[in-house]
Structure 1
Amino acid sequence: MSAKPNTDEKGEFKRQSSSFREIISAEHPIYKPASGRYWLYVALACPWAHRTLITRALKGLAPVIGCSVVHWHLDDQGWRFLEARDGKTNERHWFDIAGGINSASSNGSTPVANIVDSAHRLLIDGTNEPNYGHKRLSELYIKTDPGYDGRFTVPILWDLETCTIVNNESSDIIRIFNSSAFDEFVGEEHRRLDLVPRPLEGQITVFNSWVYDKINNGVYKTGFAESAEVYEREVTSLFHYLDKLEILLDEKYSKLEAEYGKTSQDKILARYFAIGDALTEADVRLYPTIVRFDVAYHQHFKCNLATIRDDYPRIHTWLKNMYWRHEAFQRTTDFNHIKLGYTRSQPQVNPLGITPLGPKPDIWPL
């Protein structure tokens, strides 16, 4: 997410490198595991933050690591928090025990045109910041490093004890959450879940590498291109790799179909994942981009050579499988934050700030 993207003289989008890359472990001299010590700051619109929310939920860390959600509208001063006007609201209520969005979700009946950028619906448009009363995410960066001059990005994994950012790189944060660092604070079911099992680590690394560069970041390189030549090159590359993903998932589905039979969809879907026969980090890192594709990237970033729902049947089946059969994916996905966040926060892409209503439904039934 970026209100003013980094582009070079050729009009190519360049992503900023993360500045804070510490880990949490029993062996670390400062950042040691503890319940209630660490805090996660996220935007529900942001795919990079989304992957950390999914992992936090999957690993049962919602009661262990608190969470604050910035407002979906990213203005020229960066991400902002809402104010708890009654002085009592604790944004932990935003997430239920599963780590997902509660019944106050913004996916309601309010017409999108009636939702203004300054909307102040606590626990719907965002949360307050209860630890310091900050109004802006940038204050956390300055508190950590008064001389910081980079972008103020989400996610942030924060240490309440030392009052500093531990890590602001999403790929690191999900590895921290997946590690055994917090095992003593969660149940056996969550301890058993390993998103990067050693036998599959090599395959996951290779998969993540091209998915990140060509798909996760590919939609941004397409949408933020500032010349027709750059745009056409990047959109062509993006769909080339979506084709590659479709072939990979088709091969996997066909093998499962041959094993179980075409009528045994439940058995097929129980093993239908990007890598291996169980949920892994590969699924967690791919999902935030694919779930945003039709509702945001297709029109907003001009990624309109095809849609997932109409042109990539195996990717579409995988997406529905993730969303409908895995609570951590569904309950951390807020389509209003996604649609509003992109279309209202990037005036260089969408100058009028009009949010398209379609496609409908946001995601098809399984």
Structure 2
Amino acid sequence: MGQLIDGVWHDEWYDTDSSGGRFHRSVTAWRNWITPDGGPGPSGRGGFGPESGRYHLYVSYACPWAHRTLIYRAIKGLAPHIDVSVVHPDMLSEGWTFATDFPGATGDGLFGLPFLRDIYLKADPKTSGRVTVPVLWDKAQDTIVSNESAEIIRMFNSAFDGLTGNGDDYCPAELLDRIDAMNERLYDRVNNGVYKAGFATTQAAYDEAVGPLFETLDWLERHLAANRYLCGERITEADWRLFTTTLRFDPVYHTHFKCNRRWLREYPNLWGWTRELYQWPGVAETVHLDHIVRHYHYSHDTINPHRIIPINPLIDWHEPHGRG
């Protein structure tokens, strides 16, 4: 996970020496919005309206943040309107690449460029920052709309409804405060919590992250015993944001990131909820466990220096979930 500094690539891992061994995630820089009328959104500038074929999504099948956008592309009927390029699962000294020698890695479908950083440089030749997925590209303005997954899924939730006729709303106004509060709690302790534990380089930093992680998983297990979904009786954005982490928990985070107090499948309600979301129409097709397992174990040589790919538990994702 290198970074660009004034348009120049630097193969640099996160600096944990200056933070007491703690992993701090970088803030995303491209924060424009697609809106129904093309006007400005909550941040950035305007000029991004909902048009079929105008936008291109760059993703990694391995990345939970990018996976969110693929799920919304599927459940909101956007696949015919937004095409996709998939990076190679190995993220090594060159960062994300468009190599195609792994099943499902598509190459750069727009420009034929070799590296994801080239997409960032095409938008701004002097840009600085981490080169991350997802990236939502605008073909009309030849630039990046956004690289913030939380905001891309909110765009996908409603901005294209007039085009697709799909009015399914995973962020209804009456639940917005509850969704935002749930997202904030789960992002820090679970979504990013597994990374804070896995990328910690001191015992204190690891302990600081892994304790709240399992306290929150315990709370989620109790919460889902009394609630069908995270915010009540209807599925919302909060569920989809958590799902991409729980899906990866047993195949990756439990062992690779040392989040091993319990397997997720030891939580009956949370495990059933995860399988229900996996079985939601269109979602299973967005899951590529071969990319997930390969990426984490092969790319993080500070954690797995010999790049041994584990055989992993056999999981029946289609087992009846028992959630209603």
- Which residue pairs with 2:13 in the alignment? 4
User: Is contact 1:6-1:15 (8 Å) kept?
Assistant: no
- Which residue pairs with 1:44 in the alignment? 61
Q: Structure 2-normalised TM-score?
A: 0.90
User: Is contact 1:335-1:362 (8 Å) kept?
Assistant: no
The offset of 1:147, in angstroms, is: 1.1
Q: How does 1:187-202 map to 2 (within 5 A)?
A: 187=165, 190-191=166-167, 193-202=168-177
- Structure 2 counterpart SS, 1:331: helix
User: Is contact 1:11-1:227 (8 Å) kept?
Assistant: yes
Q: How does 1:1-366 map to 2 (within 5 A)?
A: 4-9=13-18, 10-25=20-35, 26-28=37-39, 29-82=46-99, 120-121=101-102, 124-179=103-158, 181-187=159-165, 190-191=166-167, 193-252=168-227, 272-310=228-266, 312-324=267-279, 326-361=280-315, 363=317, 365-366=319-320
- Structure 1 counterpart SS, 2:217: helix
Letter in 2 for 1:40: L
The offset of 1:8, in angstroms, is: 4.7
User: Is contact 1:223-1:303 (8 Å) kept?
Assistant: yes
Compared with structure 1, are the counterparts of its residues 364 and 349 closer, same or farther at alpha carbon in structure 2 (3 Å cutoff)?
A: farther
Letter in 2 for 1:316: W
- Which residue pairs with 1:91 in the alignment? none
Letter in 2 for 1:57: A
The offset of 1:321, in angstroms, is: 1.0
Whole-angstrom distance in 2 between the partners of 1:362 and 1:164:
41
- Across the aligned residues of Structure 1 and Structure 2, the Cα RMSD in angstroms comes to 1.6
TM-superposition CA deviations, 1:89-147 (whole Å, max 9, x none)? xxxxxxxxxxxxxxxxxxxxxxxxxxxxxxx14xx240021211111100010111111
- Structure 1 counterpart SS, 2:282: helix
Q: Structure 1-normalised TM-score?
A: 0.80
Q: What's the % identity of the aligned pairs? A: 43
User: Is contact 1:300-1:343 (8 Å) kept?
Assistant: yes
The offset of 1:6, in angstroms, is: 4.3
Q: Which runs of 5+ in 2 are unaligned?
A: 3-11, 40-45
Compared with structure 1, are the counterparts of its residues 31 and 62 closer, same or farther at alpha carbon in structure 2 (3 Å cutoff)?
A: same
Whole-angstrom distance in 1 between the partners of 2:13 and 2:293:
18
Whole-angstrom distance in 2 between the partners of 1:333 and 1:6:
31
Whole-angstrom distance in 1 between the partners of 2:93 and 2:99:
16
